[in-house]
Structure 1
Amino acid sequence: MIVTLHRHGARIPSSDKLSLTDKAPNSGELSLVGQRQLFYLGQLLNKDYIQDAKLLSAKYDPSEIYYRSTDVNRTIMSAQCLLAGLYPAQSGDMIPDDILNNKKDLLNVDFKLRGSTAVTQIADKYPIQNGYQSIPIHVVERPRDKILLGYGDTCPEEEKWNPENQKSEDWQRITQEFQPQINKFAKIFNLDISTLDLYTVYNYMDIIIAQQYAGMKLPDDYTNDAQLQYDLEIFYNLRIHLSLYKTPLQKRTTVTPFLNNLVQVLSDKVSNPKNKLKGYFLSAHDTTVNMVLQGFNLTSWECIEQTYMKTLPKGTYCNYGPTRYGANLIVELRQDKTSSKNFIMVRYNGEYQKICDQTSQYCDLDEFKDRVAKFVVPNYDEMCGQKVQEKEKPLYSSSNYLKFSILVVIVSAFLL
């Protein structure tokens, strides 16, 4: 099976100009370019895991696929676009001919139009016009989404950790290391240098990167300087780590729900022969992808700084580059045909990574589970400074449905 985590596609800039206060209409929504990016990613996954590996069925099978997104428009839409590429139009089943030819009334619904002009049923044999395949995407509201947003609202301690990190010597030192780029950035965009630090440059870069993907005109001194753009993207990425994943406690705490869930998903697949799940998909943010990359020991703010300063110890691996729109991390659960042992391989943007001990692309599943057990914190809620919450429950489990049915009966009795 595969577990796929990806960032959303390009979004509409938060400002039409370089302003941290003047918000543009529909800012933050998935842009047309972002839609195409994720559709293309879906096509790539179709080629690798449907056409070549033949892991996933060519037609959508509800027992094979589970998709979850953060409760944000751009991530939900990104998931929809990826699925449109993974299961392209006209790849699904068609309505039986007997219904189309002899029982068309079954396709109607009870609704009376106000006007006299009727709406004609489509002639398509597919359920939806042009053969679009409808696939569910599950969402957990932000205050409860520990798995994908473990660094956010679900962890109140972040409100204390983040300001502390901004006062640290590391924060100040890294700002100084990038001072030449900050000076050039301020001059190009006519910004007050005294107001620029790691945090404010991040906010400006967030706008500029989105404007680039929107095709908006930027100063030639910036667009023609590829090295400056790249360095500032690294600076942008460092701010994410230094804010959210700086201390050993932060690093372990924030990714704990994700790693625990990942181990559970992989273990369920191995232990339950009836488990048909083959594709577990997660649509989230660059902050989520970075959270998991550092949880896999593939990156950290320390190694990013060391790589930039050319002080990274020899033999140490570091994913140094920026986590751009559509960045994706795939955990492949595999089985050795000879020994029947289970192991995992990890791809980041399609390239296999050296995991576990940073010397091999293969990691025994039991070893991986042991490493996770030693890295995660024992109680996420306590570490985050909040009361213990109940574990997530399916919105429509049988027990919840029963409770809802009883409530409906009681309410109906009162209404009667």
Structure 2
Amino acid sequence: MDYLWRGILSIIFVGFIHVYCVAENDLSSLELVHIVFRHGDRTPVEAYPNDPYKNSSLWPVGWGQLTNEGKRQHYALGQFFRRRYGKFLSPLYSKDEVHVRSTDVDRTLMSAESNLAGLYPPQGNQIWEEGITWQPIPIHTLPESLDQILAGKKPCPRYEYEFKKSKELPEIKMLNEESKELYKYLTEKTGKLVHDIESVEFLYNTLTIEERFNFTLPEWTKGVYPDKMEYLAAFSFTLPTYTKELQRLKMGPLISEMMDHFIKKKDGTLSPSQRKLFMYSAHDTTIANLLMTFGLFNPPFSPPYTSTILLELHRSSSDNYYVSLLYKNGTKAEEVIELTIPGCVQHCPLDHFVEIMSPLVPVDWKRECSMRYDDDDSAINAFGIAAPIPLHDVAIITVITSAATALLLAVSLIIFLVYWCKRRDSPHWYYKLSTEGP
């Protein structure tokens, strides 16, 4: 766990910090806030083949599900948001004031529900049943395969190509080479192929959860867990956004949405105009990817349950707008850490924030995702010509080619029929006579 804390402390001490206590906050300048958090405590997503705790009866809520502790964690986090933003948000829930979005995963949806129970307990005419201090609040989601903004899992061929290419970088190849014996050992002991950094993290995560549930880990883990696996597990969180191109394709859509909200709030065009809060319920990878994209994830660490990023828009007394970026490391601490985005000051002027982040925002995400490449980095079009060509353009070419082929076949058929009819009317055209009687 030492590496985890070194990563967290780096955020606190490596030149980018200011710690605020909730009670001391003056948020009178606050105009709009985005909250992005990881879900709460969960069960393992799945067991490994030789796992002594793979019997599903040991995990009654099911694999990868939010636990009661996770519900309590997010209820407490919602209460924290109420304390921090109590003078900014209305005490009563309003659909115009808050918009909540979650990835389409049980544990993130349930975390959002638990969080909102702490943030918006029903009051006054919103109490709908005596003794129930909870009210239903809409949570919006999309299937992960359609969600490029929060889940980041909508298919993107260009991203997959860049991700594969990043694994060939010298430092990644060296790390895999240095870890070969560990991979071999883990594969032998677990009965599951462990062949790269991500598969180590997946196993590390399962062992961590089992340990937290007070299960005795197998004897073979003592030589490798947590020490030999911890760094690789933490480093794995850098991989999805390891390069600027990966950051642009993976996190650009979310950052673009946040920037758009800020700009419209400043210009008075945000709809509804009463909107004050956008809440996003997501995963550890979401937190890591955002921090990586902001340039604030070195050294890396495994974001704990309920870790939270707050992106706030403020308006100064002189009507200047600026952005504050804050991080909260789970539910136990009341403090939030104010970070400084590299290239800007702590209270980053909105225009400068947009200027810094714009290179990481796709102009046309769908078009950029559709770029195809060969092994030599050259895009290949339908005619074998090396040129960048989007897949939807290839589809257009295919349609045109198919139409031309169909037209050619139709013309050929007409010519054949005309020729056949002329031959039939010719005096040299004979019918076969029947030799059978009437």
Quick check: TM above 0.5? Answer: yes
Note the C-alpha offset of 1:191: 5.0
Note the C-alpha offset of 1:259: 1.2
Note the C-alpha offset of 1:334: 0.9
C-alpha distance 62-174 of structure 1, shift in aligned 2 (>3 A): same
- In the alignment of these two chains, the number of paired residues is 328
Percent identity of equivalent pairs: 25
> In 1, distance between residues paired with 2:287 and 2:130?
34
TM-score, normalised via structure 2 length: 0.66
The correspondence of residues 82-231 of structure 1 with structure 2, limited to 5 A, is 82-88=115-121, 91-94=122-125, 126-127=128-129, 129-150=131-152, 152-175=153-176, 182=182, 186=186, 190-191=189-190, 195=194, 197-218=196-217, 229=226
Contact 1:3 1:332 in 2 (8 A): yes
Q: Which amino acid aligns with 1:332?
A: E
Contact 1:43 1:85 in 2 (8 A): yes
**1:239 maps to what in 2?**
236
Provide Cα deviations, 1:326-382, integer angstroms capped at 9, x if missing partner: 111001111112x11010111111211112426x32100111111122332322112
**2:63 maps to what in 1?**
27
The DSSP-based 3-state class of the residue aligned with 1:334 is strand
The DSSP-based 3-state class of the residue aligned with 2:35 is strand
The DSSP-based 3-state class of the residue aligned with 2:324 is strand
> In 2, distance between residues paired with 1:277 and 1:77?
23
> In 1, distance between residues paired with 2:291 and 2:340?
12
**2:331 maps to what in 1?**
none
Q: Which amino acid aligns with 1:323?
A: P
TM-score, normalised via structure 1 length: 0.69
C-alpha distance 233-69 of structure 1, shift in aligned 2 (>3 A): farther
**2:244 maps to what in 1?**
248
Q: Which amino acid aligns with 2:151?
A: L
Note the C-alpha offset of 1:285: 1.2
The DSSP-based 3-state class of the residue aligned with 1:332 is strand
Q: Structure 1 residue 325 and structure 2 residue 305: aligned?
A: yes
C-alpha distance 253-196 of structure 1, shift in aligned 2 (>3 A): closer
Contact 1:3 1:281 in 2 (8 A): yes
Contact 1:171 1:198 in 2 (8 A): no
Q: Quick check: which has more Rg, 1 or 2?
A: 2
The DSSP-based 3-state class of the residue aligned with 1:377 is coil
Q: Structure 1: which 5+ residue stretches go unaligned?
A: 96-124, 305-319, 389-416
Contact 2:253 2:362 in 1 (8 A): no
C-alpha distance 215-94 of structure 1, shift in aligned 2 (>3 A): farther
Paired residue for 1:348, among 327, 336, 347? 327
Q: Which amino acid aligns with 2:303?
A: T
Q: Structure 1 residue 73 and structure 2 residue 73: aligned?
A: no
Note the C-alpha offset of 1:128: 6.7
> In 2, distance between residues paired with 1:230 and 1:174?
16
**2:42 maps to what in 1?**
11
Provide Cα deviations, 1:96-135, integer angstroms capped at 9, x if missing partner: xxxxxxxxxxxxxxxxxxxxxxxxxxxxx63475131221
Contact 2:162 2:245 in 1 (8 A): no
The DSSP-based 3-state class of the residue aligned with 1:212 is helix
Note the C-alpha offset of 1:183: 8.4
Note the C-alpha offset of 1:194: 9.2
Note the C-alpha offset of 1:47: 1.4
Q: Structure 2: which 5+ residue stretches go unaligned?
A: 1-31, 329-335, 371-389, 393-438
Contact 1:15 1:23 in 2 (8 A): no
